[in-house]
Structure 1
Amino acid sequence: MPNACPVDLLRRFAVPLLVLLLGGCSTMDYYAHLGQGQWQLLSARQPITQLLEDPATDADLARRLALSQQARDFASTQLHLPENRSYRLYADLGRPFVVWNVFATPEFSLDPELHCFPVAGCVAYRGYYQQGRARGAAALLRQQGLDTYIGGVEAYSTLGWFDDPLLNTMLRWSDERFIAVIFHELAHQQYYLPGDTAFNESFATFVEREGLRQWHAARGETAPAGDDRQRQQFVELVLASRERLQQLYASNLPEHAMRSAKQAEFERLRRDYRTLRQRQWGGQGRYDAWIEGPLNNAKLLPFGLYDQWVPAFAALFRREGSDWQAFYAAVAALGRLPEADRLSRLESLMQGN
């Protein structure tokens, strides 16, 4: 995610530090590590206005920062997202990722090992500001027989607890994605439902996509074609593999046979990917490194979370007359429903009811 997560599924998958501190940590060492990491990030922040006024600021950096401030203004004035100092600051951390998240699952299950905290609820990963710590934690989990995966994260939100900065880790992105993340992260500040990752990420993804559409329309631009089709086909391929694994793990196969069938499924995923790349992508695939690397249950965890309920939120937005403030109120009302009722309502919206 290199691009440890080429499909951008982990780009913001990080527990806000304050939430972790409120929830307590398994060791004082981990607690101190989190505090130090967040403090270093906060200490590195600089006001973007000062950087733009400084003639010594790199020209390309200045261009990206100026564009970010136009998008930041648009987010609050047109999308009615929170107006605060988040993304009015910039921090260069001197590394490619801000945190590294460790995911883990049992050998024959796609259910994640959860970590639960106040405010954020339960999440399927544990974050580390140092890659070495993440690798050590993953090694200990593997000794317990768990599948593990480490994903580098380029940006995350503290849900408004701190003034989140733009980061050097985000500068490798295109202008389109750079702007999208601002909209996405501010959406998390607008509304966040503890413990429901699919709801939160689908909501923020809808805001990101509709926000980008309105951003380009306001500027008289045509949105870049990008590679959404390739990304969608890849995600569908992985989700189909995950579904087959679910069926396998629900079977009564002996352990040795299930282990063999599991590996055969991952080989099938690789073959299906190579066929798709050759037949429909002209032999060029942006996910080669991901697919050719080690595959296990934990590596599949993020897929589907960002997109699951996007059509439902799109339907809700239309139902509210494409009025952002009415839409946010309706989202909050959905979040107050008991889980079963909320899921039923989302399903109904997906079906156009």
Structure 2
Amino acid sequence: MSRPLPSHGLLDRVFRILFPGVMFLLLNGCSSVSYYSQLASGQLQLLRAREPVAKVIADPSRDASLRTHLIHSQKARAFASEHLHLPDNQSYRLYADIGRPYVVWNVFATPEFSLTPQNHCFPIAGCVAYRGYYSQSAARGEAALQRLQGMDVAIGGVEAYSTLGWFNDPILNSMMGWGDERLATLIFHELAHQRFYVKNDTEFNESFATFVEQEGTRQWRAFRGLPPDTDARLKQRDQFIELVLETRSRLEKLYAQPMPAEQMRRDKAAEFEQFRRDYQVMRDSQWAGDKRYDAWVNMPLNNARLLPFGLYDQWVPAFAALFRQVGGDWLRFYAEVEKLGDLPVEKRKAALKILAVTDS
């Protein structure tokens, strides 16, 4: 059973009094007060917008499709704790309408001739390859400043994020455009972050959560008597990611070469054009002309736009192998994941590489 939780009002008061001051003390002045002030105020707005999902479902004056969507979400939420042994708390048993299509906008930045991201470090989440803004205009302002400094920059809207269990995360209106199963996968993924998280290792954390999402979804479909998902779109997604990763690999080799900046700039542009040609061949010869990725491919490309690819699935095969080794026992699996997370980073990566080979 879940433990009793304080009221939303009490959490809001505690957050309002303590969180901004604690953030400023912990962050050691590593960036402007205004940036962290908008983080605090944005999180507070989200907390204050929450209401119990059960209350929304029971209210006949609320949108019928919203209520139906939330009913399905709560079935997946119960499955997550009862069958996947994910945290049993109020996260995703609350709903919040924040009145915008994204909860935050992330700004990614890299040097012009490097795929190494500009990292930003936080006391709870550790170091990540982006900065988040609750206002799209503020994100655009930060991006403009980075471009003036010669950086490659990209902005990405985010429909959901996890506070890693520090607060009870709600289902957001920004998630309501998804189908019932996609919303379930998001719940599994974000609760996995609450289950276990290692500071400063994005590849480990996201691959772990992605495996839990994928295996959890497979079991969720079986629980409801549905066949495995053989959607061709999943194969297309994997093929597209592989194409992006191949382009990244070629760019990394290019940037390691000693050459004048103008020549490297031309060769960089040529690599992106090669990526577009390869994509068009794959789209027309293997996907029957499916244009789902055309808009992304035809936008201006730079290093920063490639950053998110690979972060979410690099070690998924390793976690899949580990799950098989423990006989599909979730509790034993989580215990082994925690052992991996406790290792020094180089030993952790070496162990994951061994597991990934086992899976191949």
TM-score, with normalisation over the residues of structure 1?
A: 0.93
The 5 Å alignment of 1:251-290 reads 251-290=257-296
2: CA distance, partners of 1:271 / 1:351: 32
Query: Which segment drifts farther, 112-121 or 150-159?
Result: 112-121
1: CA distance, partners of 2:90 / 2:23: 22
Q: CA deviation at 1:118?
A: 2.2
Query: In the alignment, which of 115, 140, 143 is matched to residue 138 of structure 1?
Result: 143
Q: CA deviation at 1:26?
A: 1.3
Q: RMSD over aligned Cα, in angstroms?
A: 1.4
Structure 2 match to 1:311? 317
1: CA distance, partners of 2:33 / 2:276: 42
The higher relative CO (CA closer than 8 Å, separation ≥ 6) is in 1
Task: Give yes or no for the alignment of 1:234 onto 2:234.
Answer: no
Structure 2 match to 1:13? none
1: CA distance, partners of 2:329 / 2:230: 26
2: CA distance, partners of 1:31 / 1:345: 37
Q: CA deviation at 1:223?
A: 3.7
Q: CA deviation at 1:20?
A: 6.1
2: CA distance, partners of 1:330 / 1:23: 32
Task: Give yes or no for the alignment of 1:125 onto 2:130.
Answer: yes
Q: CA deviation at 1:224?
A: 3.8
Task: Give yes or no for the alignment of 1:302 onto 2:308.
Answer: yes
Query: In the alignment, which of 50, 55, 73 is matched to residue 55 of structure 2?
Result: 50
Q: CA deviation at 1:33?
A: 1.1
Task: Give yes or no for the alignment of 1:213 onto 2:212.
Answer: no
Structure 2 match to 1:3? none
1: CA distance, partners of 2:320 / 2:228: 18
2: CA distance, partners of 1:20 / 1:263: 41
2: CA distance, partners of 1:257 / 1:83: 56
Task: Give yes or no for the alignment of 1:70 onto 2:59.
Answer: no
- Look up the SS of the partner of 1:351 in the other structure: helix
Deviations 1:56-92 (A, max 9, x none): 1211111110011000100000000000000000011
Deviations 1:161-206 (A, max 9, x none): 0000000111111222110000000000000000000000000000
Structure 1 match to 2:8? none
Task: Give yes or no for the alignment of 1:81 onto 2:83.
Answer: no
For 1:252, the aligned partner's letter is: P
Q: CA deviation at 1:352?
A: 1.2
Q: Which structure: greater helix fraction?
A: 2
Deviations 1:3-30 (A, max 9, x none): xxxxxxxxxxxxxx98966435611211
Query: Which segment drifts farther, 224-233 or 307-316?
Result: 224-233
- Look up the SS of the partner of 1:127 in the other structure: strand
- Look up the SS of the partner of 1:66 in the other structure: helix
Q: CA deviation at 1:278?
A: 1.1
Q: Give ranges in structure 1 of 5+ residues lacking alignment.
A: 1-16
2: CA distance, partners of 1:130 / 1:326: 42
Query: In the alignment, which of 88, 102, 109 is matched to residue 104 of structure 1?
Result: 109
Structure 2 match to 1:337? 343
Structure 2 match to 1:171? 176
- Look up the SS of the partner of 1:342 in the other structure: helix
Structure 2 match to 1:5? none
Structure 2 match to 1:246? 252
2: CA distance, partners of 1:53 / 1:329: 39
For 1:236, the aligned partner's letter is: E
Deviations 1:211-241 (A, max 9, x none): 0111111111124433111101110111110
Count, aligned residues: 337
Query: In the alignment, which of 13, 34, 38 is matched to residue 39 of structure 2?
Result: 34
For 2:257, the aligned partner's letter is: S
2: CA distance, partners of 1:93 / 1:223: 34
Structure 1 match to 2:16? none
1: CA distance, partners of 2:53 / 2:104: 22
1: CA distance, partners of 2:296 / 2:176: 21
Structure 2 match to 1:349? 355
Structure 2 match to 1:59? 64
- Look up the SS of the partner of 2:155 in the other structure: strand
Structure 2 match to 1:9? none
For 2:236, the aligned partner's letter is: Q
For 2:350, the aligned partner's letter is: S
Q: CA deviation at 1:119?
A: 2.9
Query: In the alignment, which of 287, 292, 297 is matched to residue 291 of structure 1?
Result: 297
